[in-house]
Every structure is written in C-alpha cells, then in structure tokens.
Amino acid sequence: MSLTTNSKHSPVGISVIICCYNSSQRIGETLRHLARQQFPEDFRYEVLLVDNDSTDDTAAVARAIWDKEGPAGIPLRIVEELRAGQMYARDKGVKEAAYDSIVFCDDDNWLNPDYVYYAWKTLRENPTVGAAGGSNYPVTDAPAYPDWFPEHADKFALGVPGEESGIVNNRSFILGAGMVTRRKLFLAMYPDEHPTLLAGRNGSKLSTGDDFEYCKRLMIAGYDLYFEKRLSLKHFIPRQRLMPEYLERLLAGINDATPTIELYDLALRAHRRNKKKNRWRMLLLSPFRIIFTKWGLMNRVLIDEKNTLYYLSPIDLGGSHEMKVIKKFFRYAKSVEPGKI
C-alpha cells in the first residue's frame, strides 16, 4: 500500500534498480515479487529498470507486466544505457533514481515481501553503513542441482553471511544481488576522474567483480559493510545456468576479475595497517623495513611493506594501471569519508 506522490531524492523511500540485458524471459517473476512488497502508508518506492542495450523486448514485457500487476501509485520507470556493462547500467540507474536509498535487484532476484522496506530501514538505522545485504537462496526450474553446485554456489551470488545482523567488514564484500546502498555515496565512489576498473556483466560475457570493487572503495573511504538478517531473496537459476559450460564461463569471468580485486585487498590491508599511524614516519621507515625484510632481519611480510611505501608515497613509483588507479582513489577517499558527503 502506498501513496501516489513521489518527491525527488526523498529520504523516506527507496529506488529499486534492475539492470537488464535481454531479460524478457526472467523479468516477469522479479517484477511480481516487487509488486507484492509490504510497507507502511508513509513509505515510498519506485522500480527503475535500466535497459542495458538489450536486443529483445525486455522493456515492452516489463511495462505490460507492471501495468497489469503493479501496485497503484508505485511507478515503473524504464531508462536506457547503451554502454554494455552492469556497472554502467547501475551508474545510469543511480543517477536517474528518485530516492537517496538504493536497492540493486538483479533481473532474476525474487525479493521477500518486506525486503524493500527493511532495506531502507537498515540504512536509516546505520549511518556509517556504505552497503548492506542479506541472505540469498537458490531456486531453479531444473529437476535437481548438479553434484558440483554446493562447491560453487557462492559464485552464483548465493549465501548467508551470518546468523545475526551486524557489520561484516571482515568478509570485505556484499553481493551485488540485492545490495542496498546510498545514492550520493555510490556517485561519490565513481566520479569521472575515478572510473571503475571492473564494469561487470557485459552482454553475454560473464565479467564480474564490479560489486566487490564498490565494496573495497567503500571500505577504503571508511564505510562499513552490513549484514541484515531481515533481508532475504531467492536467486532464480534456470537449468541452462546449471550446465558445465555455463560454470566454465562464470569461473573464467571471476578469474579475469580476481587480480584486480586482489590488488584492492592488498591496498586495503596497507590502509588498515597504517591509518592510525603517522604517515610521514611510516614513509621514512618503509625503505629500511623492505631491505631488512629481504635480508631476513625483520619478521615482516614483504608485500605489505612494499605496499605501505607505494600507497603512502606522494610521488609516482610506477606500478600497473590498476595500482595507479587505486592509489589515486586512496588520496581522493579522504574527501568522501563518513560525515563529508
């Protein structure tokens, strides 16, 4: 139940962003679950579908379903993003969103009836939380899951991060499927001068890692990741995606993204080790620590000492393109830490 009015970037409401590429066969049940959301009378939400360069009739199918089954006063808006890549679609959706709070709902995510409301409530109750998520369970039209599925279930955006609600920074990521975040914060993590390194799914290519990259940037800037046990969804996995060929493509996409994510992890580890220490003192000590560690005179991890020098140094020490992007973001992150945006 909802009122029909909708104020631009209102704090009392949430935008549900669905990024779609050729989603006409999947979008129906996702929209029906969104149409059955339960919430207080003074709460608002919208469904914002981003058509990411689809070649099928995704937009027409979605419009027909929502016109027939969508609740009164809850709008479905459809926008286009012609750059192929899930991260580009998310960026487009966030920029178009009418609310400060955001849910990223994949085109095959079936949200529980109270998901949208508790997503908003989680952000409202936890001001330092940058991203939140819940429990993601599988559902399929296949007669049974293959023997290999339990080992690789987490690769399908599934999992239960904990038993009780709370900060899960030690886990270092929130799954993009069902992720809850803030509009201003998302835009602050990806200004034009700090573009994404991982664009996510790209048409039929199973690229990945964009949600992980977002979480790493949030943590570098000082925000928390949060598990909310009241958030629950079903991730529909059609039988075609339970074939060995699909798993092989999925693992290839993960492997492609892993080196970049590992660079973020190393940078984040350096940040955590040094954030409460005097920067200039650590910078002066780092070359000696590197030498003494190489000689076996100090019981330290060499890669950590090298990263301390690399990320604290104000001068260009070379490194890969990805390392340079991350280092540049480190300097920028101080301007978007909690309380500054």
| Distance between CA atoms of residues 256 and 331, nearest Å | 26
The average pLDDT across 250-270 equals 93
Of the chain, the percentage scoring pLDDT greater than 70 comes to: 95
Strand runs labelled E in 52-118: 76-80, 99-104, 109-111
DSSP of 169-199, one letter per residue?
TTT----STT-EEEHHHHHHHS-TTS--S--
| Distance between CA atoms of residues 85 and 56, nearest Å | 17
Determine which of 68-77, 225-234, 276-285 has the lowest per-residue pLDDT on average.
Answer: 276-285
- Residue 217's pLDDT is 97
Kind of pairing between the strands at 224-237 and 129-140 = parallel
HSE toward the beta carbon, residue 152, CA cutoff 13 A: 18
Tens digits of residue pLDDT in 102-145: 999 999 999 999 999 999 999 999 999 999 999 999 999 999 99
Burial of 167 (0-12, 13-18, 19+ CB in 10 A): middle
Tell me the range of 14-18, 168-172, 300-304 where mean pLDDT is highest: 14-18
Residue 251 has pLDDT above 90, yes or no: yes
- pTM for the model stands at 0.90
Instruction: Record the tokens describing residue 243, joined without a space.
Output: 């074939």
Candidates 190, 168, 192, 170; CA nearest to 179 is 168
